Amino acid sequence: MLSIAELETLATNLESDSVERKESLASPDRIRQAICAFANDLPCHGRPGYIFIGLDDDGRPVGLSVTDQLLLNLAGMRDDGNILPLPTLAIEVKELFGTPIAIVEVQPSEMPPVRFQGQVWIRVGPRRAIASITEERRLEEKNVAGSKTFDRRACPGASLDDLLLDLFRNEYLSRVVAPEIIAQNQRSVEEQLASLRFFDLRRELPTNAAILVLGKDPLDFIPAAYIQFVRFEGDSLTDPVQDEKQISGNLLTQLIQLDNLLPLQIRTARNPSAGLRHEDSPDYPLVAIRELTLNALLHRTYEATNAPVRINWFAERVEIYNPGGLYGQATEENFPNVSDYRNPVLAEAMKVLGYVEKFGTGIARANASLQANGNGVAQFVIEPSHVQVTVRGRQ
C-alpha cells in the first residue's frame, strides 16, 4: 500500500478516478459497486483503486470509529459471492490527518468484466457508472489478453457445437447477469459467453471452462474431467468392491449426480433417547463429505494429468483425492486458513449454480460438522502432485 503522505495526497484529490470516499459503512452496496469498478479498471491504469472509509466528499476525516467489526465487514465483501469473479483486496487502517481511516486497496482484476449482482460497474472520471455494451466488450478483450489459468484458456478443437447453449441461456446466464442487461438483447451468443469467460473472441474458441461447465461431453477434450467413486467392504484398496461409479458430464451434471450419490452412502444408527424418543447418529455428516468433495473439484488441476478426483469409501474412513498440490498463495504453513483458486472461472460457476455459499469457508464448515458429529477434524496429506483428505468414522 502507498505511504501515508501518498495516501493523504490521493485522499484529497477530488478529480482522481482512483479514489472513492465514504463516511461510513451505511451503504455497503455502494462500496461493493466501487470495488467492482476499480477491479474492472476500464481506463487500463494498471494500478490499484482506493476506498477511504471515514472521509467526507472533500477528503476530511469525520471521526468514524474504525472497529474490528468494521474491518471484518469490509473483508467479507470479497468472499460473500456478490462480486464475481473474486476481487483482490487489501484492507488496512492508516492514520491520515491524525485520524484512523480504514482503507480498501482494490487491484485491477485479471478476469474482467467483474460484476456486482449481475451488473458491470466502471469508473467514469470521479464517479461510478454501469458499463455500456461497448465498454463491456473492451473489458472482455482485456480478459482474453491477460488469460493465465487453465480454465480461461481457449480449448483447441472445440466449437459452439460442443456446448449446451440452452443450458447456458436458461440455467446460467440469468443467474449471473442482471435481467435488464439481458433484455437489451444486442449481443451474439459468442459475446454473451465471452462476458462470462466462456469464449475467446480473438481465437473464436470456447474456453476450457466452457467445456467443463457447459460441454456436451467434456471428456472429449479434457480426459481427467470426472470423479471416480469406489466403496470397499473393508479398509484396504485390496478389499472387495461394494459399489463403483464414474461421475462424468459437465459440471452441473456432476454436481447433481454427487447430490444423488452421497446421501445413499451415509449410514444412520437410531439410538434411544429420553422417553420414547430416538436420536439419529450418522456415521458421517453429509454436509462435511459434500463440502470436502466440492473443495476437491474446485481446486483440482486438469493439466499434465489424466487422474480424476477420487472418493474411496472404506469401512472406517473416507478418502478424497484431489489431483494437484496447493496453488498460489496457499502453502502447507497457512493451509487451510488461506485459499487461492487454480480454477477461478469454475469457482465462479459453482457459486452461480448454488453449490458454494461463501468462498474460503468450506473446510471450516466441514470440520465444524465433523466435530459436532464425533468424527474429529479432517486430516490432510499435502504433496506437490495431490492433496488427500481423510475423514474417520464416528467414534
Question: What is the mean pLDDT of the segment spanning 1-26?
Answer: 91
Count of Cβ atoms closer than 10 Å to residue 162 Cβ: 18
pLDDT at residue 60 in the model: 94
134 lies in some domain: no
**CB-based contacts of 188: which residues, under 8 Å, 6+ apart?**
none
Query: DSSP letter string over 98-112?
Result: TEEEEEEEEPPPSSP
Q: How many domains does the chain have?
A: 3
% residues pLDDT > 70 (the chain): 96
pLDDT at residue 308 in the model: 96
Contact status, residue 230 vs residue 243, Cβ threshold 8 Å: yes
pLDDT in tens, 95-121: 999 999 999 999 999 888 999 999 999
Return the DSSP state at 385.
S
In terms of domains, do 166 and 285 share one? no
pLDDT in tens, 187-244: 889 999 998 999 998 889 999 999 999 999 999 999 999 999 999 999 999 999 999 9
Domain that holds residue 250: 227-392
Q: Worst-scoring range by mean pLDDT, 99-108, 245-254, 255-264, 337-346?
A: 337-346
HSE value, Cβ hemisphere, 13 Å, CA-based, for 319:
16
Please say which residue of 158, 187, 218 terminates a domain. 218
pLDDT in tens, 160-185: 999 999 999 999 998 988 888 777 76
In terms of domains, do 74 and 99 share one? yes
In terms of domains, do 259 and 362 share one? yes
202 lies in some domain: yes
In terms of domains, do 46 and 116 share one? yes
Q: Quick one: cell of 343?
A: 480454477
135 lies in some domain: no
pLDDT at residue 223 in the model: 95
pLDDT at residue 145 in the model: 53
293 lies in some domain: yes
| HEC sequence for 123-184 | EECCEEEECCHHHHHHHHHHHHHCCCCHHHCECCCCCHHHECHHHHHHHHHHHHCCHHHHHH
Q: How far apart are the first and last CA of the chain?
A: 49
- On the question of pLDDT at 316 being above 70, the answer is yes
CATH of the domain at 62: 3.30.950.30
In terms of domains, do 75 and 170 share one? no
CA angle 361, 385, 299 (to 5 degrees): 25
165 lies in some domain: yes
Q: Is the peptide bond before 112 cis (omega within 30 degrees of 0)?
A: no
pLDDT at residue 379 in the model: 96
Please say which residue of 94, 129, 164 terminates a domain. 129
In terms of domains, do 199 and 69 share one? no
Q: Is the peptide bond before 240 cis (omega within 30 degrees of 0)?
A: no
Please say which residue of 84, 99, 129 terminates a domain. 129
Nearest to 43 by CA among 20, 12, 16, 6: 16
In terms of domains, do 191 and 236 share one? no
d(CA 352, CA 197) in angstroms, rounded, equals 13
In terms of domains, do 260 and 205 share one? no
- On the question of pLDDT at 33 being above 90, the answer is yes
CATH of the domain at 271: 3.30.565.60
Structure pTM? 0.82
Residue indicated by cell numbers 478424497: 320
47 lies in some domain: yes
pLDDT at residue 108 in the model: 93
141 lies in some domain: no
In terms of domains, do 153 and 269 share one? no
- On the question of pLDDT at 273 being above 80, the answer is no
In terms of domains, do 85 and 178 share one? no
d(CA 218, CA 223) in angstroms, rounded, equals 8
Contact status, residue 79 vs residue 358, Cβ threshold 8 Å: yes
pLDDT at residue 360 in the model: 77
Nearest to 349 by CA among 263, 255, 229: 255
140 lies in some domain: no
- On the question of pLDDT at 276 being above 70, the answer is no
pLDDT in tens, 34-83: 999 999 999 888 899 999 999 999 999 999 999 999 999 999 999 888 99
- On the question of pLDDT at 359 being above 90, the answer is no
d(CA 48, CA 20) in angstroms, rounded, equals 12
CA angle 268, 308, 245 (to 5 degrees): 45
- On the question of pLDDT at 378 being above 90, the answer is yes
- On the question of pLDDT at 142 being above 80, the answer is no
In terms of domains, do 266 and 359 share one? yes
In terms of domains, do 231 and 169 share one? no
